[in-house]
Amino acid sequence: MKLIIDAGNTTTKLAVFQGIKMVEKYVVKEKELKNNFKKIIKKFPNINKSILSSVSNLSKEDVSKELNHISILKLDHKTKVPFTNLYATPNTLGVDRIALIAGAVSQFPKKDCLVIDVGSCITYDFVNKQKEYFGGAIGLGLKMRYTSLYKNTVNLPLLAPKQVDTFVGNSTENAIHAGVTLGMQMEINAVIEDFSNKYPALVVILTGGNADFLSKRLKNGIFVVSNFLLEGLSHILDYNTNK
């Protein structure tokens, strides 16, 4: 069994995998990590390997103190991955994006894949059917767009995300929702269309915390996978330990 650790800026996701199947998932704050590690090890004593993907201060040494009998792989740009990384600055490539591409080549082999992650930021990452990763794009996420309008203007309010039916807002609030949510969905559809024109058999994967919210107005044929990053980390761990 495997323990997957995805340490973000505000929360950490802990997932237990049996083979390629996720059997348990926890989303915890940093101060809750120690107790949750103990709970997981007690419930799943057969866990024998783990992978850590961290964009926070959580280090391999921190994890080793709690999982002292378990082998831990720390993901970074030097970790062996199941694709050819053609990114010009691999040392600056986020570990989350590495995991997403690993998930794509694992679940959709010999396919041109566009992975769209709609979390704090929105990222677009492309890998071709030869497993060559070229890079992608990074933009403002849904919450960032609302927050930016509020912080960088005098009179616009801070709103929670809401779907609207038209791009012509009949109030300031509806105009903001149209510009942010519909604007973001139009952006995503335009990117998909551009890639699809070049790669007719393109596979599009939408993931991240806002995937379900945004998918309602996106084009058909998109795979919406909420735990795609965790699945990618699981595949990287297997790729490094099953040889």
1-34 pLDDT, tens digit each: 999 999 987 789 999 999 999 999 999 998 899 9
**79 located within any domain:** no
Residues pairing with 53 in the sheet: 6
Q: For residues 179-187, give the mean pLDDT.
A: 96
Residues 93, 189 share a domain: yes
CATH code at position 146: 3.30.420.40
**Residues 233, 8 contacting (CB under 8 angstroms):** no
**238 located within any domain:** no
Least confident of 30-34, 96-100, 150-154, 200-204: 30-34
**148 located within any domain:** yes
Q: For residues 177-190, give the mean pLDDT.
A: 96
Q: How many domains does the chain have?
A: 2
* 243 has a pLDDT exceeding 70: no
Contacts of 143 (CB under 8 A, 6+ apart): 120, 161
Residues 94, 10 share a domain: no
- The Cβ of residue 189 has, within 10 Å, a number of other Cβ atoms equal to 14
User: Pick from 30, 51, 74: which residue ends a domain?
Assistant: 74
- pLDDT tens digits for 68-94? 889 999 999 999 999 999 999 999 999
Q: How distant is the alpha carbon of residue 65 from its chain centre?
A: 27
**242 located within any domain:** no
* 145 has a pLDDT exceeding 80: yes
Residues 223, 161 share a domain: yes
Residues 42, 144 share a domain: no
**239 located within any domain:** no
**221 located within any domain:** yes
> Hey, CA dihedral for 85, 88, 91, 93, is it positive or negative?
negative
% of the chain residues with pLDDT over 70: 100
Residues 111, 228 share a domain: yes
Residues 123, 198 share a domain: yes
- How far is the C-alpha of 3 from the C-alpha of 37, rounded, in Å? 10
User: Domain residues for 182?
Assistant: 84-233
Residues 47, 118 share a domain: no
- pLDDT tens digits for 94-105? 999 999 999 999
Residues 53, 89 share a domain: no
The closest alpha carbon to 21, from 239, 234, 236, belongs to 234
CA torsion 74-79-83-84 (nearest 10°) is 150
Catalytic residue numbers, as ranges: 96
- pLDDT tens digits for 118-141? 988 999 999 999 999 999 999 999
Q: Taking all residues of the chain, what is their mean pLDDT, rounded to a whole number?
A: 94
Q: Look at residue 8 in the predicted model and tell me its pLDDT.
A: 83
If one compares 208 and 57, the residue with the highest pLDDT of the two is 208
* 241 has a pLDDT exceeding 70: yes
Residues 213, 121 share a domain: yes
Residues 107, 125 share a domain: yes
User: Pick from 39, 74, 109: which residue ends a domain?
Assistant: 74
Using CB atoms within 10 A of its CB, is residue 31 exposed (0-12), middle (13-18) or buried (19+)?
Answer: exposed
- How far is the C-alpha of 193 from the C-alpha of 200, rounded, in Å? 10
**173 located within any domain:** yes
Residues 66, 92 share a domain: no
Q: Which residue has the tokens 């600056």?
A: 92
* 3 state SS of 12: strand
- For residue 153 the two structure tokens come to 């203007």
User: Pick from 29, 51, 74: which residue ends a domain?
Assistant: 74
- How far is the C-alpha of 131 from the C-alpha of 178, rounded, in Å? 37
The closest alpha carbon to 80, from 59, 112, 60, 102, belongs to 102
Predicted TM-score (pTM) of this structure: 0.93
Residues 205, 108 share a domain: yes
